[in-house]
Structure 1
Amino acid sequence: MVGLFWIEGDVAYVGTPAVDPAPSVVLTPDGPRVRGSEPLEWSWGEVTDLRVPDAPVRSTAVRWAARAASFAVAALDAWVPEEPPEMTVVIAAGGVEVETSVYSGASVAYTQREVDLSLGLLARMVRGEFSPVVMSEWWRVNQPEKVLSSREREIVLEGWLAEEWLAEG
């Protein structure tokens, strides 16, 4: 997971991949796709906006407190797994907005900086200035063996935004 994105091999998702029929939003070089019971797809040229208005954001202190509480509950063997937080992906194309819920990749929440940087990348994809292929290539080269810290994820996102990537496909 890097920011709002889940990268798995050659596929980049907004949020996490879901098991059908639950929806997933896939970012391809050709355009965004909604997978699930009501699949949809667009080319990047058709998309005028792609945003996530309700990504879960919490301060570092609140995220650490929530994480500590979950460890304490698990230690007491009282932990019941929860579904990850949901967030809404809005895709505008052809004068129509489509909203779909996806699961967040963050176990607790994202930092505000991660969300801001991720939304910046989505805007660059819409403008044709960034391709999700870059995410897959980064993952293939780096293949982190552990979950990146929020600061490490922010650094990756900042690097992607700093480059003058050209859209592919």
Structure 2
Amino acid sequence: MAMVGLFWIVEGDVYVGAKPSGPAPGVRLTPEGVAALGGGQSGLHLWEDVHALTVADVPVKSLKRQVGMVRDVALGTVKELALPMGHGRVDEAPALMSVRVESADGDHELAAYVAAAVGYPQTEIDLSHALLARLTEGAATMETTLAAMSEWGRTWQGGSPRRAEREELLRGWVR
């Protein structure tokens, strides 16, 4: 499994945001269409009906966000050590992004959890948006692009690649 831009790729499966588990909301990109998963959302929006696919509420990686994450972890640790009985850490759920699907039968807003704890680099956000637009250009474009992403996921060994490699992958998939 690996994160590349706004996408979480697990073997041949491509998700926008984090891969959902259990009842958590998520969005999977399949050869047939955009699948809404969990979180009280369901359905499949077929590619031939999808006119636009965008993501909003994407947290941008910044120094302030990184410092805030470190601060929160440190404060949580201190609180746990100071109040060990019955005051264990309560993990917050990750932030949600809105995945908007514009289709022949109307506009749909789906939810997906953010996979990047400190946000996404702006370049990867921009490239991911371009890639989502590319997926809606037509069947042949969608099939080859999604197939390339899935194939990369099946052959990739290890965790998420470094930033430069992620950007290069996104650029290649956008072409």
TM-score above 0.5, yes or no: yes
| Structure 2 residue aligned with 1:115 | 125
Of the candidates 47, 54, 57, which is equivalent to residue 44 of structure 1? 47
Equivalent pair of 2:13/2:153 in contact (CA under 8 Å):
no
Question: 2:154 aligned with 1:136, yes or no?
Answer: no
Query: 1:60-139 alignment to 2 at 5 Å?
Result: 61-70=63-72, 72-73=74-75, 76=78, 78=80, 80-128=90-138, 129-130=141-142, 131-139=145-153
Equivalent pair of 1:49/1:126 in contact (CA under 8 Å):
yes
TM-score by length of 2: 0.79
Q: Pairwise CA RMSD of aligned residues?
A: 2.2
Once the two structures are superposed, residues 70-128 of structure 1 have per-residue CA deviations (whole angstroms, 9 ceiling, x without a partner) of 55446647465322211100001115100022101111100111111001000000113
What amino acid is the match of 1:133? A
TM-score by length of 1: 0.82
Partner SS for 1:42 = strand
What amino acid is the match of 1:11? D
Equivalent pair of 2:10/2:154 in contact (CA under 8 Å):
no
Larger radius of gyration: 2
Between structures 1 and 2, the one with greater helix share: 2
Moved more, 32-41 or 71-80: 71-80
Aligned residues: 160
| Structure 2 residue aligned with 1:166 | none
Deviant stretches of 4+, over 6 Å: none
Once the two structures are superposed, residues 2-40 of structure 1 have per-residue CA deviations (whole angstroms, 9 ceiling, x without a partner) of 111111122111111223433211101121111223311
Partner SS for 1:16 = coil
Partner SS for 2:4 = coil
Structure 1: unaligned runs, 5 residues or longer: 163-169
Structure 2: unaligned runs, 5 residues or longer: 81-88
